[in-house]
Chains A and B, each alone.
Chain A
């Protein structure tokens, strides 16, 4: 075993998936409150059955797609991804889901489409956190079309082979593993193909701190904290910080999407 083998082993050790408890009891889902423990306490109030996703904008077959119909047509597989929050903590999560591009194929993306906009479910009775204007509700996110069609980009419907819990964004959520966690919008009810860059929630709240792209980048600090390293959840009180990897370790797969772009400006 050479050095590469050793490095591989160390990498594998730090990339051991987090436990179900860690993944499902430590969440940011501000619609249910801003504390990490709020979503697991209060997300149960959210109605997820029946559920449908409206796909509209620049598509051939706009309409409301029932969740069960989507699931009948999609090939669900396991994807173990690193998950890096903009707050500088991280996890490794074994998602179950399907590629977003397969879902978009259902609706038929038109040639003029350049961006994909996403919207989270909003019901103020069921979501106690929406009583406060921490963000503008509903939560919205967006990707460039090539990012959305990238094979790493999935819609997750499960974790550890079980249905995805409500606090993690049931019944289906976006997962873009090379971007900060807030891009991976939860409990999606609407997907709109557009020809212009859609507004995104954190960018609207504070454009200086949160850009449209929000790619994981250890060289570009958040104005209020360093992004060079991260705390891996589950290591306990005395765990060492891990160095954050460019594009969260997925540079080999996605770096070419950003060829020629100044990632300091387009952060």
Chain B
């Protein structure tokens, strides 16, 4: 059995709830570490950063599903909803830690969102995720039909905004956030590669094929 089939059969057998559970587990665990000193001497910033970073990683994982199917023949589509929903949950936790434990006052939270561009961008990304999270159920999928796919392309904007937020909040041009941004741009770039080169080149010959 080759690698691709191995992964596919493994993915078929793995229940989705296991993925939900495994990816949700770091949230309470990190909080426990932060309370007990396991995240170092500045637990507020560490927890804020960890939740934000996991959210970004889950967004990137979600963006990998389509290219993996297309270029590697690996189908992990059944996990994509879990990745997206959990990314949303981690972003909300990220926001809560920042607002409640770091900034600590609603007027200052609002002032930061309005005044500081990198926070405005992060907040925009979160707001754009709201309709995605709200329509991530089967009912919405059926009701919206083809519009569901269009709507969920917002994920692309969310990922780019989240990565820019990360690049911008650091002092100086730091390597780590730039790597995340680059990964996202590559994953989005792969989607612009024509699905079938032959057909693209041969577009005028549509009639001749008939």
Contact = CB atoms under 8 A, between A and B. Distances in A.
A134 B173 contact: yes
Interface stretch (B33-41, B127-135, B185-193): B33-41
B172 A237 contact: no
Interface in A49-84: none
Contact of A231 (B42, B111, B116): B42
B41 A22 contact: yes
Q: Is the interface of A mostly helix, strand, loop or mixed?
A: loop
B172 A206 contact: yes
A210 to B, nearest CB: 9
A202 B173 CA distance: 12
Contacts of A231: 42, 44-45, 102
Contacts of A22: 41
Nearest to A206: B172
Interface in A118-142: 132-135
Contacts of B77: none
Interface string A20-45: 01100110001000101100000000
B129 to A, nearest CB: 23
A34 B47 CA distance: 17
Interface in B111-146: 111-112, 116-118
Given A237-B101, A238-B101, A26 B41 contact: yes
B43 interface: yes
Interface in A223-240: 223-226, 228, 231, 233-234, 236-240
Contacts of B47: 237
A233 B171 CA distance: 19
Given A134-B173, A205-B172, A241-B104, A37 B40 contact: yes
A150 B78 CA distance: 66
Contacts of B117: 224
The bracket for how many chain B residues form the interface is 20 to 34
Contacts of A202: 171
Contacts of B170: 34
Contacts of A239: 44
A227 to B, nearest CB: 12
A226 B102 contact: no
A241 B100 CA distance: 11
B16 interface: no
Q: Find the residue from A21, A87, A133, A233 having the highest chain B CB count within 10 A.
A: A233
Given A89-B45, A236-B35, 4 more contacts: A34-B176, A226-B112, A231-B44, A237-B34
Interface of B: 34-35, 37, 40-45, 47, 101-102, 104, 108, 111-112, 116-118, 168-176
21 contacts: A26-B40, A26-B41, A34-B170, A34-B171, A36-B40, A36-B42, A87-B171, A89-B42, A134-B173, A134-B174, A223-B116, A224-B116, A225-B116, A226-B108, A226-B112, A231-B102, A236-B35, A236-B37, A237-B34, A237-B43, A240-B104
Interface of A: 18, 21-22, 25-26, 30, 34, 36-37, 87, 89, 132-135, 202, 205-206, 223-226, 228, 231, 233-234, 236-241
